[in-house]
Structure 1
Amino acid sequence: MALGNKGFAGLVIGGGEGAPETRRPPRTGFLGARENRLAELSSGAMMTRVHEAVDPDTCRIWQGHNRDYEALNEQACSDLIDSLRAQGRQEVPAIVRRVTGDPKIRFEVICGARRHWSVSWLRRHHFPDFKFIVEPRELTDEEAFCLADLENRSRKDLSDYERATDYARAVERYYDGSQQRMAERLQVTKSWLSRYLELAKLPPEVLACFGSPHVIGITHAASLAPRLSHPRDRAQLMEAAAELAAEQMARKERGGTPLAPAQVVSRLLAAKPDPLAKAPPAEKIVDEEGRVILTARWDSRSGLLVAIPKTRLKDAAIVGMALDRYLSGLGATDDKRTEDVRTPKPRPGKRVQKAGGPR
């Protein structure tokens, strides 16, 4: 029997030590849930957070937030608006910091700009009592940046451009310009971070070629970066960008569809640099005796290349004068550029000798 012999004997004689203890039924409902929660909190298996339901007008977006709040609209937030309306409440709280010194603003939003925008929209459209649920935290700016990045890194509704501009601000504000330190803090590779920083460096003229900066991906920036890093290639690409931006504006004014990002990149890369544009000829600069002081050559990839013979390294003053004269004459005519670097003027035949055209 389940009670055993001693238990059975106890029942027969009406009690005693062998009588089984009456088992109480388990707690259910509110009391059971309360006991379970208290046990989890005491064991450290659960952490409690304080949430507050507030008016979104008492919150502002943190200036370091990684989302472009001004770009949000009903279409961009339609999925979240529908979810909030169906649930009748906001399920996931926004992370905020308390604000002091401003009687109208209580919090600034660290994570949850779309939630803030959507709740604000619902309050203006037939749901005036809808509350914005927030979770206040105490965070430094750098901690707030890391938290926002961690929450939004996997979100598809955050554009590459928004991430790129956020990283570009953060690397200067929090990491003294060190990409290595920032990559270690975010636990990403330096090359991964560099691709976003390249996107953030695209000049405004290039950004204007796209229908919106938010459609530009890191792969587009990676394709354009090599051409933008060299002076002559960059000049030609910027000319093409100006024409393309005007074309995109005309399309927009006519109500047409802008060119896709891949088409824009293809058009910009198709712009070929002029090999003779602004490329001064290579030159040997000599002294009165015809001895070479230095050789200067303009390279389309590396820029200005200067070679100084070992025998002239001791003539620092003369070499410096020759280099100054060459640099000041880059935009001048050949006659001005070929004057000798010493005074009085050299004898005939001892002026700067051409070493060939540009390569």
Structure 2
Amino acid sequence: MSVRRRSLLDDAIDQIGSTHPAPTDSPPRAAAPKEGTDFLTRRGAAFDEIVRTVKTPTIKLKPDECSIWPGNARDYEALTYDRCETLVESIIKEGRNREPAVVRRTPGAEKPYELIVGTRRHWSIAWCHANHHSEIDLVVRIEQLDDEAAFRLADIENREREDVSDLERARNYKNAIETFYGGVRQKMADRLAIPKQRLHELLQLAEIPDVIVGAYASPMHIKVHHAGKLLPLLRAHTTQLLLEHEAGRLTEEQAARRDASQPPIEAPQVLARLIAATVPKRGRPAKRPPLATTSGVAVGTLVSNHPTKGLVLKVMPGEPLSVDEILEALRPAIADAKFKKRSA
């Protein structure tokens, strides 16, 4: 039998219970982290406020008594039996979920509780109910948390879970920074006790569009460091079109491989092909993407874009267009032009 892996929350609760004196009329404040303290110490101090609230009795609920809080990083709709198989089998064997999920009451809502932490546990027990194990209930703790505290609590748990993808976490952070922290990165980094550079890298990943994510066999495969290589290419119109074209080809190839029960194209190869698609072939100029209107009507092509020789466009509309429509199609190429700066 494998040794139970304790969550960060449970470890923090045990530590607080053994090192802090019994509460008086007003609970003691967490000591401010000293300069030079290590990362885990700073993170523990930042979440001391939350972990003080979770030593509560557990209760049993049916899965359909809980709605899923949308602020959690994990994409509930993306969960499958394959992703949860080990947990499902453990729950069936033990007749319960080992680690309680966390819910809060939602008076007046369609369902009486909202699940904050434990989406895989909830999904797995819902699967059990749909597959001849309706006797198994979801063990939960009820907490009183506002949305920002709920976000931080869920984030603690998700950092300990290897099956929460970088992309899920990145998009969750992108939403949270505007919702809870007024778009201020330093404020969010301090609140979560994570390095500001790490937060920056995750927010960069959140900018990668779905058309590029689709090139990977699974959203689980795209990593934080991929964003640093792809974003500069996505920000230039010419390379963006080439990148998106190659992503479309990869998406089709991945689907064909799935249908044929063949192994997928691995993430490193996907990244390499995306980048290579934007690099001019040796001995011949890179293929220029056509210039087109937003409705897809071809307007012409980009012939050359040189800092000293200037920008050359070939304009041959595929069908009658207004001057404004033609200019709008040419605007991205003009914006990306490599004009040599003239000295004053």
- TM normalised by structure 2 equals 0.66
**Contact 1:220–1:262 (8 Å) recurs in 2:** no
**Aligned mates of 1:167, 1:355 — CA distance in 2:** 39
Q: 1:66 aligns with which of 69, 73, 76?
A: 73
Q: 1:70 to 1:283 in 2, by over 3 A?
A: same
Which residue of the other structure, out of 185, 200, 209, is the alignment partner of 2:206?
A: 200
Shift of 1:42: 9.2
| Cα deviation, residue 257, structure 1 | 2.4
C-alpha change, 1:44 and 1:257, in structure 2 (3 Å) is same
Equivalent of 1:144 in 139, 146, 150? 150
- 1:275 to 1:176, Cα distance in 2 relative to 1, 3 A: farther
**Structure 1 residue 48: deviation in Å?**
4.5
Q: 2:89 aligns with which of 82, 91, 94?
A: 82
Name 2:172's counterpart in structure 1.
Answer: 166
Deviates more, 1:226-235 or 1:104-113: 226-235
8 Å Cα contact 1:210/1:245 also seen in 2: yes
- 2:57 corresponds in structure 1 to 50
- Following the alignment from structure 1 to structure 2, what is the Cα–Cα distance between the partners of residues 330 and 69? 40
Deviation per CA, 1:191-235, whole angstroms, max 9, x where unpaired?
101111121111222111111212211122222223223333323
1: CA distance between counterparts of 2:223 and 2:55? 39
Give the alignment of 1:1-359 within 5 angstroms: 43-44=22-23, 48-102=55-109, 104-271=110-277, 272-273=279-280, 277=288, 278=302, 280=305, 331=330
Quick one: higher RCO (CA 8 Å, sep 6+), 1 or 2? 2
Query: Which amino acid is the alignment partner of residue 43 of structure 1?
Result: A
Which blocks of at least 5 consecutive residues in structure 1 are unaligned? 1-39, 285-296, 299-327, 338-353
Distance in 2 between residues matched to 1:43 and 1:170, nearest whole Å? 34
Q: 2:132 is matched by which residue type in structure 1?
A: H
- Structure 2: gaps of 5 or more residues: 1-18, 25-51, 289-301, 312-326
1:241 to 1:174, Cα distance in 2 relative to 1, 3 A: same
The one-letter code sitting in structure 2 at the alignment partner of 1:195 is E
Q: In the superposition, relative to structure 1, how do residues 283 and 276 fare at CA in structure 2: closer, same or farther (>3 Å)?
A: farther
CA displacement, residues 112-162 of structure 1 (integer Å, 9 cap, x when unaligned): 001111112222323222111111111111111111001111211111111
The structure with more radius of gyration:
1
Count of aligned residue pairs for this structure pair: 255
Taking a change above 3 Å as real, the CA distance of residues 200 and 86 of structure 1, as seen in their structure-2 partners, is same
In structure 2, what is the Cα distance between the partners aligned to 1:130 and 1:331?
Answer: 62
Shift of 1:89: 2.3
Rounded Cα–Cα distance in structure 2 between residues aligned with 1:57 and 1:80: 19
Residue 135 of structure 2 aligns to which amino acid in structure 1? D
Q: 1:145, 1:101 → 2: CA distance?
A: 22
| Aligned-CA RMSD value | 3.2
Deviation string for 1:151-199 (max 9, x for gaps)?
Answer: 1112111111111111111111111222222111111111101111121
Structure 2 CA distance for aligned equivalents of residues 242 and 72 of structure 1: 25
Measure how far apart 1:255 and its partner are. Answer: 3.2
Cα distance in structure 2, aligned partners of 1:92 and 1:188 = 25
1:266 counterpart SS class: helix
Residue identity over aligned pairs, in percent, reads 36
Amino acid paired to 1:220: H
Q: Is this contact kept in 2: 1:280–1:330, CA < 8 A?
A: no
Residues 67 and 276 of structure 1, relative CA distance in 2, 3 Å threshold: closer
Give SS of 1:63's match.
Answer: coil
List per-residue Cα deviations over 1:61-111 (Å, max 9, x = no partner). Answer: 101111111111222112212222232222321111111213x51111000
1:283 to partner: Cα distance = 7.8
| 1:232-256 Cα shifts (integer Å, max 9, x gaps) | 3323222222222232233333332
Counterpart of 1:88 in structure 2: which amino acid?
Answer: G
- Contact 1:94 1:115 (8 Å CA) reproduced: yes
Displacement of 1:329: 11
Measured in 2, the distance between the counterparts of 1:253 and 1:276 equals: 31
Matches of 1:243 and 1:225 in 2, distance apart? 19
Residue aligned with 1:76, SS: helix
Letter in 2 for 1:219: H
Q: Give distance in 2, aligned partners of 1:275 and 1:125.
A: 55
